[in-house]
Structure formats: structure tokens, C-alpha cells
Amino acid sequence: MNIGIIGTGYVGLVTGICFADLGHSVICVDINKKKIDRLKKGEVPIYEPGLEDLLRRNSQEGRLKFTTSISEAVRNSLVIFITVGTPPKEKGEADLSYVESVSKKIAESITDYKLIVEKSTVPVETGKWVEHTIKIYNRKKVKFDVASNPEFLREGSAISDFMHPDRIVIGVESKKAKNLLVELYKPLNAPIVITDIRSAELIKHASNSFLATKISFINAVSNICEMVGADVLKVAEGMGLDRRIEKTFLNAGIGFGGFCLPKDLDAFISITDKLGYDFGLLKEVKKINEQQRELLLKKVEKELWILSNKTIGILGLSFKPNTDDMRFAPSVDIIKSLKQNGSKIKVFDPQAMDKAKEILKGITFCKDPYDVAKGADCLIVVTEWNEFKELDFNRIRKSMKAPLIIDGRNIYDPDKLKALGFKYVGIGRK
């Protein structure tokens, strides 16, 4: 099938390349010419394990093309996916201006039947507006359908999440649209939830908000663990063995970041406020998440007393491991607050250094974790990269001014580090 992908970001690019790998013929569009030029040369502008190989292979086999022209993509496609950014506005509601402008350009280019699919995460009722926009600008009055097909890709595992999804959600208003999408996804042989557009849009926001709720729940429990001297890892283990709770997304730490959970939580709160429903639970989830970063800073102050002129080493900058994505990364808030208190900051991240250099100024970018530890009064684990799990702690301890480790992602064994002469502080640990 001929497919168009409008917006080659973290989601659009993975979606387009994976569809090509399933044998479809895909043409990807982006407004950013630099990005398109790099993709034409076989370069992936983001870090996503395995993506560059798939890009090169499918481009060489002629199933994948890149352009900045929406009309070229529309003319050559039967199904067109909208995967442009839906960033949060000032008060948290989703900025849908890119979705609107792309819908307009699609409408101006269609000359025969097309299925236009919103894959970007959008508030409920956006599909109605996409349809309305296309109707207005569809000069040739060509028949078309609109559908919703939300993505559930996690950065760092996006290819496997695409190829082995727990479920595919399709929101459609016509049999033709349903048949096209069922055929498109048939090679994945995955459970398909077929519903109306509004329900499909809600499934996405409700799913991400539930994941955020799970994380904030265990983070709240971690604070109680600290008060009573319990171990949150054991509590989470005991909870997660209950199949109704399940063990994933019960890792206590400095909270969630990234371009999805925070943004989708804010958008869901905003749309429900507008609908007249006060989603107090989600407002509390957001508050707990923000407090986790403040709690980490309180731990640093409790150990160092005076922060000014102290050297603080930060291990990990990306919002989670196996990605270079710095959007809404906890590290940004933590570093900003430490700098405001006069601390000197040294950082290392295996993948996110380039992106971090664009947003973090006045800090020292180091070449490895040992360089970060040199002369540091304190070492804080912010992102749980595997590279940080088996460090030479004797070497680390000898090079630090004081052997203090604050483990923001609970990746170390407290007893092991204490035996090596460190003061260890975790999140909800004894």
C-alpha cells in the first residue's frame, strides 16, 4: 500500500520506516529541510536503536522516500498519517496548529480518495476538526475519510513496540477506512481495537495518564517508605506480583519526563477541565511528579548543607535510558535549581550530550562518568543508563572530594556501596 507520513519526528520516522519494512511503499515529509536532507543520505537525526539500519535497507530497496513537499506525498499515497508535533501551550493544552496547517495542505492536494489518519497524540474531538478543516479546503470536493490511530511507542524500544504492539487502536467512521487500516496492519498479527474516533483519541490520553498515575503512586509510596524505614523496591516487588497490578511502571525515582507523559497528562487535564470535569486525580499525579524533583534537591541539601561552590556530578541527562531525547527531562530542572544555588555542575550522558549542549549552559560536559566524579562533592544518578550500573567504585571514591552518591533511579545496591565506603542515598530506600 502507498503511505504518506507527515512529520518525521520520533514517532513519524519510526512509523514510516517500520511500514516500509513491512513491505509498504512510504513517502515521508517534514517541514525541516535539514532533517530531510540527512534522511536522504541515510542518516537518522535522532537516537533510536536499530533505526539507521532499517532506514538504509528500506531506502536502498526503494520502499522509502523523503521530501519536504506535502502535495508530493499526498499525490503518491492512499493513506496519509499525520505525525507532526503537538507541543503543550502555556497552560498545558495541546498546540494543534501544526495539525491544522498540515490538514489544510493535505486538503489542497487531494485529487482522489484518501484516508487521512491522525497518529499524533491529540485531545478528544480533534478528528472532528481535522475532518472539518479538510472539508473546507477540499476544493475538488474529493471523497476522503479521517481516522485516529494513536501510537504507543516508547523511545528506546520504538521499533519493537511497533513490530510487536500489545494492541493496535483504530478509530474509524467508515467501513472503507476500517478495511484499509486492518489490511495495513495485518502483517503485525496483533490484537486490533476497532472503535470510533473519539474513543480512539481517549484511549491514548487515558493510557498515558494511567501510566503516569502508576509512576506517581509508587513515588508517593517511596516517600512513605522513607518515613517508616521500608524499602520501596521490595514493596513494588510485592505489589507487582499481583497480576492485576503487574510489575512494570512501579520503579520509584525522580519521576517521569519525556515528550509524552508530561504533555499528555497536561493535555488530558486541560481538555477535561474544558469539558467541565475536574480530574483531581490527574492533578495530584502531576503534583507528585513535580515534587519528586524537589525532594531530590532536598536530599542533596540535607547531605551537603551549603550548595554554593560545591561540585556536583550528574550521571545521565536524557529523560530515560536508550534515547537522546532531552524534552521534559528531569535533569534540566535539577541542574537549573542546583546552578541557582551556586553549585558547579559536571555532567555525562552516553547519547544526549549534543542535544543537552543546546539547552544547558554554564556547566561542564565530561567524557565519561569517571571524569564527572573527579573532584565532585556528590554524584547524582539521574538517568539509569546501563553504563552506570557497573562502575569501578574504588576509582570513583578515590577521585571524589567526598564519597556521596544520590541514586535518583535506585540502580545501586545500598549495602554494596556502603561497604565500599560511600554515603548512599536512594529514593524510598533504607
- Within 23-42, the residues that bind ligand UDX by CB under 6 A are 30-32, 35
Closest-CA residue to 403 (of 429, 377, 369): 377
Residues touching ligand UDX: how many (CB under 6 A)?
40
CA distance 220 to 7: 37
Q: Give me the 101-130 binding string for ligand UDX, x by CB under 6 A, dash otherwise.
A: xx-----------------xx---------
Is the CA virtual torsion 128, 130, 136, 138 positive or negative? Answer: negative
**CA 107 to CA 144: how far, in whole Å?**
9
Which residue's CB is nearer to ligand UDX, number 65 or number 310?
65
Residue 272 interacts with ligand UDX (CB under 6 A)?
Answer: no
Query: Rounded to an integer, what distance in angstroms lies between the CA atom of residue 73 and that of residue 25?
Result: 11
Say whether residue 171 binds ligand UDX (CB under 6 A). no
Q: What stretches of 30-96 show up as alpha helix (H) in DSSP?
A: 33-40, 51-60, 70-75
Work out how close the CB of 395 gets to ligand UDX at its nearest, in angstroms, rounded to a whole number.
27
Q: Which of 19, 144, 259, 424 binds ligand UDX (CB under 6 A)?
A: 259
Pick 60 or 97: Cβ nearer ligand UDX: 97
209 binds ligand UDX (CB under 6 A): no
Task: Tell me if 320 contacts ligand UDX by CB under 6 A.
Answer: yes
Query: For residue 383, with 0-12 CB atoms within 10 Å meaning exposed, 13-18 middle and 19 or more buried, which class applies?
Result: buried
260 is a site residue for ligand UDX (CB under 6 A) = yes
- Exactly one of 18, 28, 225, 260 is catalytic; name it: 260
- How far is Cα of residue 171 from the mean position of the Cα atoms in its chain? 23
Region near ligand UDX per CB under 6 A, out of 8-16, 299-307, 363-371, 372-380: 8-16
* C-alpha–C-alpha distance, residues 129 and 271, integer Å: 15
With CB under 6 A as the contact rule, which of the stretches 19-27, 58-66, 139-147, 259-267 interacts with ligand UDX? 259-267
Among 215, 295, 297, 417, binds ligand UDX (CB under 6 A): 215
**Which residue lies nearest ligand UDX, judged by its C-beta?**
9
Choices 80-88, 138-146, 239-247, 385-393 (CB under 6 A): range interacting with ligand UDX? 80-88
Q: Based on the shown chain and the rule CB under 6 A, indicate whether residue 251 belongs to the binding site for ligand UDX.
A: yes
Look up 260 and say whether it is catalytic: yes
- Residue 312 backbone dihedrals phi, psi, to 5 degrees: -120, 125
**Does residue 44 interact with ligand UDX by CB under 6 A?**
no
> Does residue 133 touch ligand UDX according to CB under 6 A?
no
What's CA 153's distance to the chain center, in Å? 8
Complete DSSP assignment for 276-328: T---HHHHHHHHHHHHHHHHHHHHHHHHHS--TT-EEEEE--SSSTT----TT
Cβ neighbours, 10 Å, residue 413: 14
Binding site for ligand UDX (CB under 6 A): 7-12, 30-32, 35, 83-86, 98, 101-102, 120-121, 151-155, 208, 211, 215, 249-251, 253, 255-261, 319-320
Q: Which residues are catalytic?
A: 260
